[in-house]
C-alpha cells in the first residue's frame, strides 16, 4: 500500500538542505552533524505521511554527537529548537541521579517536555482567539468606566430627570461619555484614558504558594504536584480579587482573563500530549559525564544507575504526567558529549544500541576561527560592533586583524585546554577591554582595528605563560 502524501504539506517544514542552510547561518563547519540532525528532523515529518499501519513501526533513529567542547554541539541544539516547530527540551545528563539518590529523576525530562508542549499549544490557541478576547475585554472595560462615571455624577452635580445642573447653575444633559459607549470606545482605543484608574474584580487563577523546606535539589517536581493538588481544593482557586489599576493595565488583565475563558484546556492537553508523543525532541547534553568504568564505588555508583533509568525512556515506555500518560516510543533523542575521559563504549551496551547514528565533530583550527569571526549572522565581531555602536562608535576589523585574532585563539587552545570557539570570547574581551572602558568618552568616532592593534594588545599577554593561562 502506498501513500501519495506530500511531507512538506503534512509538516509545513524545511527540507534537509534548507535545515542545513539555516544552521550554516550560525554554525561554521560540522557538516556531518548538521546533515544527521537535518535528516532526523525531516524524518519526523515524513513519518506522518506513512500509512497508519506502518507509521507506529517506524522508530526514530537517535543520534549521539561526539566532539570536544566549543565545537558547536550545544549551538546545533539551540538552533534546532527554533527550527523544529515541535516540543523540544535540552537537559544535561549530569543533573540526573539514580532513583534513591538526591536529585532529579529522568522521568522529569518527559514532564518538562509535556509542559513545553502545553505552553506551545496554549499560545497557538491564544493567537487564534486573541481578537475575540480583546473585544470582550474592551466591552467589560467600557462597562466598568461607565459605571464609575455614573457613580461620580451625583457627587459632581445635582439634577433631576435626564438633566444635570452643574455647580455654575447651567442645565445640560449628562456627560456624553456616560451615555455614549461609542465615544468612550473611541477614547479608549486612542489611549486617552490610559492613565485613568478603574476597579477590577478578577478571578485568582494562580496556584497556592508551597515550599518544601529542607527538601533540597530534586524536590521541585514534588512542589509542583502539591501546588496542583492544593489548587484543586474548593476555595483555593477562582477566588475574586478587587484591584484598583490603570486602564492600560486593566485592558491587559481583562484580555488575559477573557482568553483563559475562551481556551479549551481539554483540547490543549490532548493536542499537547499528541505532539509530545509524535514530534517531541530531547537533547541530552553532557552524556559523557554519566559514562565511566563500571566500578561499584565512589561517584560511579550512580552513573550506571542513571543510564539504566534512561534506557526505558529512550527505548519506549509510558511516563505519567499531570496531563496524562505519555508514551516515549517516538520521541527523538539527540545526545552529545566530549568524551575526553570516557568513550561511547563506556555506556552500557543497551543504551549504546539505542543511539544507532554516531557523528564525530571536528576540533576547530585557525581557519575555522576566521570563518566564525566573519560568516555567522551572530559573529562576535558584529556583536561588539553593535554594542559599541550604542556609544556612537563605528567599530570595524580588517581582514588581517581577524586572522590575527584567530591565530591567537588557536595558539591559546594549543597551550592550555582546548575550549574551541569559546576561546574567541576571552580573546575578544582582552583585545577590546580598554576600548570598552573608554567608549563613553570617545563618541562619534570611527575605529578600525588592524593586525598591528591586535599584536600590540595580545602579544604581551601571550608572551607571559602564566598571564596567558589566566587571561586567555
Band of the pLDDT at 160, cuts 50, 70, 90? very low
Q: What's the length of the chain? A: 472
| Mean pLDDT score, 352-360 | 91
Choose between 97 and 44: higher pLDDT.
44
Q: Which of 250, 269, 268, 266 is nearest to 258 (CA)?
A: 250
pLDDT of residue 156: 44
Choose between 348 and 10: higher pLDDT.
348
pLDDT tens by residue, 87-104? 999 988 888 765 555 567
Inform me whether the pLDDT recorded for 172 exceeds 90: no
Inform me whether the pLDDT recorded for 31 exceeds 80: yes
| Mean pLDDT score, 169-194 | 64
pLDDT of residue 52: 87
Q: Is 357 in contact with 62 (CB distance < 8 Å)? A: yes
Q: What is the DSSP string of 49-106?
A: TS-HHHHTT-----EEEE--TTSSHHHHHHHHHHHH-S-EEEEEGGGB--TTSSSB-T
pLDDT of residue 372: 92
pLDDT of residue 305: 80
Give the Cα separation of 224 and 209 in Å (integer).
10
Q: What is the DSSP string of 357-371?
A: EEEEPPPP-HHHHHH
Q: Is 197 helix (H, G, I), strand (E, B) or coil?
A: strand
Band of the pLDDT at 2, cuts 50, 70, 90? very low
Inform me whether the pLDDT recorded for 399 exceeds 60: yes
pLDDT of residue 400: 93
pLDDT of residue 346: 86
Band of the pLDDT at 293, cuts 50, 70, 90? low
Inform me whether the pLDDT recorded for 159 exceeds 80: no
pLDDT of residue 102: 54
Which parts of 215-365 fold into alpha helices (H)?
220-231, 247-262, 265-279, 300-315, 349-353
9-18, 187-196, 452-461: least confident range:
9-18
Cα-based angle 200, 205, 208 (whole degrees, multiple of 5): 125
Q: Which of 17, 3, 7, 87 is nearest to 52 (CA)?
A: 3
Choose between 3 and 235: higher pLDDT.
235
Q: Is 255 helix (H, G, I), strand (E, B) or coil?
A: helix
Band of the pLDDT at 339, cuts 50, 70, 90? confident
How many other C-beta atoms can be found within 10 angstroms of the C-beta atom of residue 345?
9
Band of the pLDDT at 3, cuts 50, 70, 90? very low
Q: Is 218 in contact with 103 (CB distance < 8 Å)? A: yes
Q: Which of 79, 88, 94 is nearest to 23 (CA)?
A: 79
Q: Is 184 in contact with 142 (CB distance < 8 Å)? A: yes
pLDDT of residue 371: 92
For the chain, the average pLDDT equals 79
166: left (phi over 0), alpha (psi -120 to 50) or beta: beta
| Mean pLDDT score, 106-112 | 90
Inform me whether the pLDDT recorded for 326 exceeds 90: yes
Inform me whether the pLDDT recorded for 341 exceeds 70: yes
Band of the pLDDT at 470, cuts 50, 70, 90? low
Choose between 105 and 123: higher pLDDT.
123
pLDDT of residue 70: 85
pLDDT of residue 258: 84
pLDDT of residue 469: 60
Percent of the chain topping pLDDT 90: 28
pLDDT tens by residue, 197-212? 777 776 665 555 554 4
Band of the pLDDT at 369, cuts 50, 70, 90? very high
Choose between 390 and 237: higher pLDDT.
390
Amino acid at each position: 500500500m502506498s501513500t501519495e502524501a506530500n511531507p512538506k504539506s503534512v509538516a509545513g517544514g524545511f527540507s534537509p538542505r534548507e535545515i542545513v542552510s539555516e544552521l550554516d547561518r550560525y554554525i561554521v563547519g560540522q557538516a556531518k552533524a548538521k546533515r544527521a540532525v537535518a535528516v532526523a528532523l525531516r524524518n519526523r515529518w515524513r513519518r506522518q505521511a506513512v500509512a497508519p499501519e506502518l507509521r507506529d513501526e517506524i522508530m526514530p533513529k537517535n543520534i549521539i554527537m561526539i566532539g570536544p567542547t566549543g565545537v558547536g554541539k550545544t549551538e546545533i541544539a539551540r538552533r534546532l529548537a527554533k527550527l523544529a516547530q515541535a516540543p523540544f527540551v535540552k537537559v544535561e545528563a549530569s543533573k540526573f541521579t539514580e532513583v534513591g539518590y538526591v536529585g532529579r529523576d529522568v522521568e522529569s525530562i518527559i514532564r518538562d517536555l509535556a509542559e513545553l508542549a502545553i505552553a506551545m499549544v496554549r499560545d497557538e490557541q491564544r493567537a487564534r482567539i486573541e481578537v475575540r478576547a480583546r473585544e470582550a475585554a474592551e466591552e467589560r472595560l467600557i462597562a466598568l468606566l461607565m459605571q464609575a462615571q455614573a457613580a461620580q455624577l451625583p457627587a459632581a452635580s445635582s439634577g433631576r430627570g435626564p438633566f444635570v445642573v452643574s455647580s455654575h447653575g447651567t442645565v445640560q444633559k449628562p456627560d456624553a461619555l456616560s451615555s455614549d459607549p461609542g465615544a468612550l470606545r473611541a477614547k479608549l482605543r486612542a489611549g486617552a484614558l490610559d492613565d485613568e484608574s478603574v476597579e477590577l474584580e478578577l478571578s485568582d487563577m494562580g496556584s497556592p504558594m508551597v515550599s518544601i523546606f529542607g527538601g533540597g535539589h530534586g524536590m521541585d517536581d514534588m512542589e509542583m504536584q502539591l501546588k496542583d493538588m492544593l489548587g484543586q481544593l474548593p476555595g483555593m482557586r477562582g477566588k475574586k480579587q478587587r484591584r484598583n489599576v490603570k486602564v492600560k493595565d486593566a485592558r491587559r488583565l481583562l484580555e488575559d482573563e477573557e482568553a483563559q475563558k475562551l481556551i479549551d484546556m481539554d483540547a490543549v492537553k490532548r493536542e499537547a500530549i499528541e505532539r509530545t508523543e509524535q514530534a517531541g525532541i530531547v537533547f541530552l547534553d553532557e552524556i559523557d559525564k554519566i559514562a565511566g568504568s563500571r566500578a561499584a564505588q565512589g561517584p560511579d555508583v550512580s552513573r550506571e544507575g542513571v543510564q539504566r533509568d534512561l534506557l526505558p525512556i529512550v527505548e519506549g515506555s509510558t511516563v505519567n504526567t499531570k496531563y496524562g500518560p505519555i508514551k516515549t516510543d517516538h520521541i527523538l533523542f539527540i545526545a552529545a558529549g566530549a568524551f575526553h575521559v570516557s568513550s561511547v563504549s563506556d555506556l552500557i551496551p543497551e543504551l549504546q544500541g539505542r543511539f544507532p547514528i554516531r557523528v564525530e565533530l571536528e576540533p576547530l583550527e585557525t581557519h575555522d576561527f576566521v570563518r566564525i569571526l566573519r560568516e555567522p549572522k551572530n559573529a562576535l565581531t558584529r556583536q561588539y560592533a553593535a554594542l559599541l555602536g550604542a556609544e556612537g562608535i563605528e567599530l570595524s576589523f580588517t581582514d588581517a586583524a581577524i586572522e590575527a585574532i584567530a591565530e591567537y585563539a588557536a595558539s591559546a587552545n594549543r597551550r592550555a585546554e582546548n575550549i574551541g570557539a569559546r576561546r574567541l570570547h576571552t580573546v575578544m574581551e582582552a583585545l577590546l577591554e580598554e576600548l570598552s572602558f573608554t567608549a563613553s568618552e570617545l563618541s562619534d568616532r570611527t575605529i578600525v582595528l588592524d593586525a598591528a592593534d591586535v599584536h600590540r594588545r595580545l602579544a604581551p599577554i601571550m608572551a607571559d605563560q602564566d598571564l596567558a593561562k589566566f587571561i586567555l
